Amino acid sequence: MNDWSQALGGFKPLPAIGETQTGNRALQIEEPLLFEKDSPGRSGVDLPEPPPHTSRLGNAARTAPIGLPGLSEPQVVRHFTRLSQKNYSIDSGLYPLGSCTMKHNPRLNEKMARLPGFADLHPLQPISTVQGALELIDTLAHWLKALTGMPAVAMSPAAGAHGELCGLLAIHAALDARGETRHRILVPESAHGTNPATAAACGYAVEAIPANGSGRVDLDALQAALDTDVAAFMLTNPNTCGLFENDIIAIAEAVHAVGAYFYCDGANFNAIVGRVRPADLGVDAMHINLHKTFSTPHGGGGPGSGPVVLGGALAPYAPLPWVVHGTEGFGLLEQAAGPAAQALGRLKGNHGQMGMFVRALAYIMSHGSDGLRQVSGDAVLNANYLLAELSVELTPSFPGPCMHEALFDDGFLKGTGVTTLDFAKALIDEGYHPMTMYFPLVVHGALLIEPTETESKQELDRFIAVVTALARRAKTGDAAEWFRGAPYLTPRRRLDETAAARKPVLRWLPVVAAADAAG
């Protein structure tokens, strides 16, 4: 420490712009781990001394301290508040993540989900005390069946991927009942990763069907791959390139002609809800991501819910439980008879994600059938506005129009030395969460943008202006180094995301112990 910094009371010399004494950046506060703030013995509560007692734990009694940090209540409150302020959310700004449908969650939904009669329910309460909750599940099921044209819906799956598992297990059970064992499941190249992962988890060999020049399933390639060893074809419609699969009726017929089932990944149902009923397209099973199409905060903000609608051939193999409605009111069918007894049993504990059910039904009923039709129309309109405006500087992967999301590749960055990743990182400095990058895999360096219907034209124009300006900067010829350094304004800059995912450090060690371990 030099003399004058000592004179200043230990302050460091004047920092460079952007550097601070504390590491804080304006009101963004550096936040250590709770364990690093530990003051042994400090507590936020005063508990009375326990009365004298004889332990019955025997040799199961703890011998070493529990190792929890000692903290006061304000320290804990500030810790979690600061962490929450580091989070970007749909409530902070436009969240253009394609495929994820990050749309505004109307506050009405939250008000309904917080009604004590819903929020304070226990799943094991006597049936007579939860008649309203069962009626709500039944009413939501009715809407989902009406919107998809399907005769049955399994409400319990906890997310889209879980719904895929439900659908494929039902298909497996239906094939079993036919006395057939089939080994292959076909998925398009552009499929979301959960599709092949689910098929593999169910023990099937997964085969990719290539896309044609317009970004849709190559019908000839599909027909060539189909035979009586194929259990199912899994298709997302609109697909992950944001395009409607125009051949879907012919696809369904070809799949059914070899006795296979047609599974639809319904994550993009928000683009067609109120306009197209999947049953009319020949779909046998489809999950609906309630947390995408029917709002609900998700993606770090809350849980999901993935009910699966089932056609007549698969309905008998749906998982338990079922809400039933008889003269005694509503009930839950928890034991199956007939073919269902051989089917899935339960997929999860209890009956599904009640909070999501309440939000989804509030969303559906407050929009009504005409409002839902407008939702899908506006989602498609917003995406096409982005596609048209951004096509001036970016390279659209396929000719438009698109459905609910706009897909670009990195053609516009060719020769600039700037990558899709660099481009997305620069967007963070401008106050935007990046779009989905490098997915779908069918195009090079993909940038997939889903604005949703809840963004205003002003907000879209602001986003378009920023992306356009960044694209022009990238094309100036000597901007690669600048882009490689982005983001410049975040508390942390470029992280090694691969190492963080592959070699996560999940265990905190006290400094002394960590030094011992290293030494």
Residues of this chain that interact with ligand PLP (CB under 6 A) are: 99, 159-161, 192, 194, 236, 240, 265, 267, 289, 304, 306
Give min distance, CB of 92 to ligand PLP, in A.
21
> In a 3-state reduction of DSSP, which class is residue 419?
coil
By C-beta, is 159 or 413 nearer to ligand PLP? 159
Q: How many CB atoms lie within 10 A of CB 459?
A: 14
Give min distance, CB of 492 to ligand PLP, in A.
26
Could you give the residue ranges of the DSSP H alpha helices within 149-191? 160-177
By C-beta, is 157 or 316 nearer to ligand PLP? 157
By C-beta, is 160 or 316 nearer to ligand PLP? 160
Q: Are 245 and 212 in contact (CB under 8 A)?
A: no
By C-beta, is 147 or 159 nearer to ligand PLP? 159
By C-beta, is 69 or 299 nearer to ligand PLP? 299
DSSP per-residue letters across 50-114: PPP-----GGGS--S---PPP--HHHHHHHHHHHHHT---TTTS---BTTT------HHHHHHHT
By C-beta, is 134 or 199 nearer to ligand PLP? 199
Give min distance, CB of 163 to ligand PLP, in A.
8
Give min distance, CB of 161 to ligand PLP, in A.
4
Q: Are 438 and 422 in contact (CB under 8 A)?
A: no
By C-beta, is 268 or 419 nearer to ligand PLP? 268
Q: Give the DSSP H or E segment for 267.
A: none
Q: Are 351 and 137 in contact (CB under 8 A)?
A: yes
What's at 368, amino acid-wise?
A: G
By C-beta, is 274 or 304 nearer to ligand PLP? 304
Using the CB atoms, write b or e for 468-481: b if 16+ within 10 Å. Answer: eebbeebeeeebbe
Structure tokens at 160: 């889209």
What's at 305, amino acid-wise?
A: S
By C-beta, is 427 or 448 nearer to ligand PLP? 448
Q: Is 129 left (phi over 0), alpha (psi -120 to 50) or beta?
A: alpha
Q: Are 487 and 426 in contact (CB under 8 A)?
A: yes
Q: Are 62 and 91 in contact (CB under 8 A)?
A: no
Give min distance, CB of 350 to ligand PLP, in A.
18
For residue 301, what are the contacts with CB-CB under 8 A and spacing of at least 6? 89, 90
What's at 275, amino acid-wise?
A: R
Bridge partners of residue 436, in order along the sequence: 448
Give min distance, CB of 440 to ligand PLP, in A.
9
Give min distance, CB of 305 to ligand PLP, in A.
8
Alpha-carbon distance 276 to 273, whole Å? Answer: 6
Give min distance, CB of 201 to ligand PLP, in A.
13
Using CB atoms, what's the residue nearest to ligand PLP? 160
Give min distance, CB of 164 to ligand PLP, in A.
7
